[in-house]
Structure 1
């Protein structure tokens, strides 16, 4: 499998576009490897269901991508090239992120001088991102919604 390599321009629009693309690529890889999420009880952390009967896990590797760590209601990806992305799932099950998560991605790819407000503004106008509120966003046409009901 080809390795995911992140190249990012310097503008806030470039960074936001790469962030969104990276989320989609990481979550697509995750959904190909695992059959879904499980949460044993309300308030319990979620885990990925493996293809093996009764198997779950909270961290692992994705071929050609890097490592992932499930946390609370989210997932953090550490890519092989050093880039990092982190997303959460909102109460309604949609993927959700804010300008802080975009800023952390920007810093992980060497764009440390970028302004958080500029990233927030760029996310608000990005065609691949839908704004939920002042500083909450999701991927437009989100195909990564999870169900919080127990199986």
Structure 2
């Protein structure tokens, strides 16, 4: 598999993992309207800043949260002011390195992959992306 295709698969894997986390969190916390609400729950001390929810370990940080699945796959995400999940190339690379078969990819390959996935992904500010509605 060529590097560009592998980078594209990595980005799509991150998006699938993020969607799976969103779904798992909504099942575990029925009052959750969107994944970003986890940050508010932690800040208001309705839940800890870190812990386990379902099959995920989570750690709230700044404007986002890092989720680690039972198999060690890491999905780190920030949240925009509107609550949308956003990510950058660093977060995509960390995801790739956390896979059962770690995959390291260059920023250029990731940038090309993200651009090839528009309009599925939207650049919300330079270097930061979200899944389109």
Which TM-score tier does this pair reach, normalised by the shorter chain?
0.7 to 0.9
Gaps of 5+ in 2: none
- Bigger helix share: 2
State the 1:58 CA deviation. Answer: 2.1
Deviations 1:15-48 (A, max 9, x none): 000011101111221122222337xxxxxx7334
Say which of 112, 129, 132 aligns to 1:137.
129
List aligned pairs for 1:19-30, cutoff 5 A. Answer: 19-30=14-25
- TM-score between the two structures when normalised by the length of structure 1: 0.69
After TM superposition, what 4+ stretches of structure 1 lie above 3 angstroms from structure 2?
Answer: none
Q: Highest CA radius of gyration, 1 or 2?
A: 1
Say which of 49, 57, 82 aligns to 1:92.
82
Aligned residue pairs, count: 120
CA RMSD in angstroms, aligned pairs only:
2.3
List aligned pairs for 1:25-40, cutoff 5 A. Answer: 25-34=20-29, 35-36=31-32, 37=37
- Are 1:83 and 2:83 matched, yes or no? no
Gaps of 5+ in 1: 1-9, 39-44, 142-151
